[in-house]
Structure 1
Amino acid sequence: MVLILATIVLAVAFGWRDGFAALARAPLAGRIVLIGIAALPLLQLVPLPPALWQALPGQDLRRMTLGLAGLADSWQPLTLEPAATALCAVTAIGFVTFTGWLLRLSEDDFRRLLLVALGLVLLGISIGLLQVFSDGQWMVLQAQMGATLLGFFANKNHMALVLACSVLLFGLVVSRQSPWQGRRRMFVGGYTAFALVAIVVTNSRAGLGFGALAAVMVLLDLARGVPLRWRVLAVVVVAALVVAVVSSSAFEIVAGRVDNVSDDLRWRFLGWSWPLAERYGWLGSGFGSFRTLFITTEQLSWVKPTEVNAVHNDYLQLLIEGGIPAMILLTLLAVSLVLALGRFRHLLRRSSARHQLLFGLTAILLFGLHSAVDYPLRRPAAWAFFALALAAVYRNTQNHPTSDGWGGEAA
């Protein structure tokens, strides 16, 4: 109820002030995507005449069920799970509203908000350390998972993903502010090492890869203009750190889970869920409907003590729940990012726009990779960082800064 009320208030305030003007800061493809994200779940809630919804694929069970109550000829929405789709519509509108507010911020306010985001990550790490040291007895905010660093999250993979994004945020953007410029490389190297250790303690297999990719991006940026002897020394230090981490008991737990990746049930979910994509892939079954639909097709041999809440591949689930219209929006999102990548090549090397754009594109890449094996964008706590990354891209797509907005850059 709090989420719904807050979303309505902020969305109305955003539209009342200059919402459409703020969205205009995004490229045309990006504007279509943002509007579509908010509109598509709402369109799935529009009641349709019986002749229309009954003609859609996959409606046989629905028609028979409603027929038992004498409602087979009533008007029904496209979605098969209206309550879940309505909640998805609220969160989708919240995402678009949040992204819109980020687009309308001044440059100084946006930089301050990036600092706030980094501060929240550090606070989450502090809470997570208490969770680890107490073996999951202290500061349990979402889920009880023992000595696992979760912070504010209920999912360790999402916590690890946000930690990897924070490495990019600090290393590529925040560290260029004046408080860190004198010893930027030392601070960036220290935070990167600290965040990687925290990722190991999350016990997330995917997080290891995301953290490594983020660290490589940041270290490559730091190495620009550095003499060869210092690069060799940095490699030695990083190698020593890797050896220390690999030798830890926390890493042994994660490594054991990596060895078992081939037995993970999420690979079976793809095959089990594909018939739903074939049935509902044209217009979608309605956002938030997968869990209910999967139960209706689940075979007895598939039943486990746990419930299948998602496909663990958001691209396939997007096709099931959103159909071709959702895939068109996904394609337009990719087009807007490709256009931003082309603009990146023409920005000055020392400009803040280039640094923010690089952070945004790389963070979105991490989310894109994670979405192939999980569902990070279905959790508001995780998509807040995706919104930051998307805003960082769209804010700098149409501008050509001629100076470094951070007041200069250390070598």
Structure 2
Amino acid sequence: MTRWRAYLLLLFVLPLPFGGYTDWAWPLYTAITSGLLLLELRLHTQNLTTLPVAFVRSRWLWVGLLLIQLWVAAQALWISSAHYDTWMYLFKGFGYAGFFMLTLLLVHSQNRIQQAIWTIVLAAAFQASYGSLMVLTGWEYGFFEAKWAYTGTATGTFVNRNHIAGYLEMALALGIGFLLAQSTVYRGSLRQRLRQAIQVLLSSKVILRLLLAIMVIALVMTRSRMGNTAFFASMMIAGALALVLMRHKSKSTTILLASLLVIDIAIVGTFFGVDKVAERLQNSSVDTESRDEVTRDSFLMWQQQPFRGIGAGSFQTTFPKYKSPDVVDSNVYNHTHNDYVQFLAEFGAPAFAVMLGVVLVSLWRAIRAMSVRRNELLKGAGFGATMGIIAIGIHSAVDFNLQIPANAYMFMFLLAMANIARWAEHGPRAHSSVQRTPKRAKHHVTHATTETPNP
């Protein structure tokens, strides 16, 4: 239980110190994650306990993530020209891979799925409330110090408005999936339906919907063009998939999905500045942006070392050698505004293919969860993972959200949740992954190949 509480606390504090981007925050996250993972694995090894089904079913995914870390170690030794930066990225990468594994091990029951999602929603709602308050009051403070960039827009405790937008996209996706899992079917007489409506108004569902509205307000107030575009596009894509794939869906599910679009865009957006986001989109052009040129030069950089890459984490020191004359010389480019191209250039094609494979397999499993699972919570978790992966996938084409530790950890959570939604048990024994076995029994794992009906 102590490990679980520590995990939830980590989930909540991840975005607080500038999205974990500081030199002390992300090493702390890696150390905590590694410690919790080792303790959890030790428990299963010493007590000969049953591993969660989702962890076993996802073994090739976390093995792939660990192999990528071995590749980064090889880059640090023989390939990278920025050895220190690559070693640091290796340390960071072990934190990400470890968090993926830790989530699969710890989030093994419906109760824990709910607690984890509530923790993320509360953390995101805090970021949204704080960021909006700073804009509306004009105080403009970030994490215990005055903001030096992106004043007039919501940034929460992040530095960059686009990065809090990425965080909110993923948190909103999980929250909306959780809300769908609680859809209410009204039956019976008018009096019974009235009683059911009152029960809904007094339930946590209303609180959840209110928190999601606050998060949408903050997302609009970030004025992030692709952040808002990615959120609404991913909601429409995931919503369409849900309406097609979800079996036995109620009318309330369709109404809820439609209301999310109508209320959040037409009402919330009107009062909190969706018109300004639209104006930024209209005023965007290749003449006023240098992102296209940086992405182009980064792709050319990859073509020089297509197989082995330039070395994870070495973009900042290597890019100046490939920068074209039409790129602004006064700017220091820590990252290219395209996660796909930066990962490809730094890691090389084989390692990038493994990364992409982990993401696509997880996305497919999240979509399958919406189709084949009977449990409403697991279907909702599948929706949330689907929407979140699509959202950050769209946003990453023009930004570097996955270079921000808090967002990278959240993305690992989404990938893990996609596999949990697909494979987690939900019968009477699903409330604990730790099952005692005889002391002399051989270590074993559980393999579930068929869907267990609801009790």
Moved more, 342-351 or 293-302: 342-351
Per-residue CA shift, 1:58-111, capped at 9, x if unaligned?
xxxxxxxxxxxxxxxxxxx21111111112111111111222221111323343
Aligned to 1:147: 152
User: Does 2:193 match 1:164?
Assistant: no
**2:139, 2:171 → 1: CA distance?**
24
One-letter identity of the residue aligned with 1:212: F
Decide whether aligned partners of structure 1 residues 16 and 261 sit closer, same or farther in structure 2, where only a CA change above 3 A counts. Answer: same
Decide whether aligned partners of structure 1 residues 358 and 4 sit closer, same or farther in structure 2, where only a CA change above 3 A counts. Answer: same
Asked whether the equivalents of residues 367 and 382 of structure 2 are also in contact (C-alpha less than 8 Å), the reply is no
Decide whether aligned partners of structure 1 residues 10 and 225 sit closer, same or farther in structure 2, where only a CA change above 3 A counts. Answer: closer
Asked whether the equivalents of residues 297 and 324 of structure 2 are also in contact (C-alpha less than 8 Å), the reply is no
Q: Spell out the pairing of 1:241-252 with structure 2 (5 A cutoff).
A: 242-244=265-267, 247-248=270-271, 250-252=273-275
Aligned to 2:48: none
Pick aligned residue for 1:201 from 195, 206, 221: 221
Partner-residue secondary structure (3-state), 2:156: coil
Q: Spell out the pairing of 1:10-49 with structure 2 (5 A cutoff).
A: 10-15=33-38, 17-18=40-41, 24-46=55-77
Q: Spell out the pairing of 1:67-86 with structure 2 (5 A cutoff).
A: 77-86=78-87
Aligned to 1:87: 88
Decide whether aligned partners of structure 1 residues 91 and 272 sit closer, same or farther in structure 2, where only a CA change above 3 A counts. Answer: same
Decide whether aligned partners of structure 1 residues 227 and 307 sit closer, same or farther in structure 2, where only a CA change above 3 A counts. Answer: closer
The alignment's TM-score, normalised by the length of structure 2, stands at 0.71
Aligned to 2:134: 131
User: Does 2:125 match 1:117?
Assistant: no
Decide whether aligned partners of structure 1 residues 131 and 272 sit closer, same or farther in structure 2, where only a CA change above 3 A counts. Answer: same
Pick aligned residue for 1:256 from 275, 279, 283: 279
> How far has the Cα of 1:323 moved from its partner?
0.6
Aligned to 1:363: 388
> How far has the Cα of 1:178 moved from its partner?
11
Aligned to 2:187: none
Aligned to 1:97: 98
Per-residue CA shift, 1:306-336, capped at 9, x if unaligned?
2222221111111211112322312421452
**1:154, 1:124 → 2: CA distance?**
12
One-letter identity of the residue aligned with 1:398: W
Asked whether the equivalents of residues 276 and 320 of structure 1 are also in contact (C-alpha less than 8 Å), the reply is yes
One-letter identity of the residue aligned with 1:25: V
Moved more, 281-290 or 340-349: 340-349
Q: Which runs of 5+ in 2 are unaligned?
A: 1-22, 46-50, 185-197, 432-455
Decide whether aligned partners of structure 1 residues 39 and 238 sit closer, same or farther in structure 2, where only a CA change above 3 A counts. Answer: closer
Per-residue CA shift, 1:2-25, capped at 9, x if unaligned?
443552464255235417967843
> How far has the Cα of 1:295 moved from its partner?
1.0
Partner-residue secondary structure (3-state), 1:25: helix
**1:155, 1:350 → 2: CA distance?**
38
One-letter identity of the residue aligned with 1:164: E
The alignment's TM-score, normalised by the length of structure 1, stands at 0.77
**Cα RMSD (Å):** 3.7
**2:87, 2:348 → 1: CA distance?**
17
Pick aligned residue for 1:182 from 187, 200, 216: 200
Higher RCO (Cα < 8 Å, 6 or more apart): 2
One-letter identity of the residue aligned with 1:137: E
Asked whether the equivalents of residues 291 and 336 of structure 2 are also in contact (C-alpha less than 8 Å), the reply is yes
Aligned to 1:292: 317
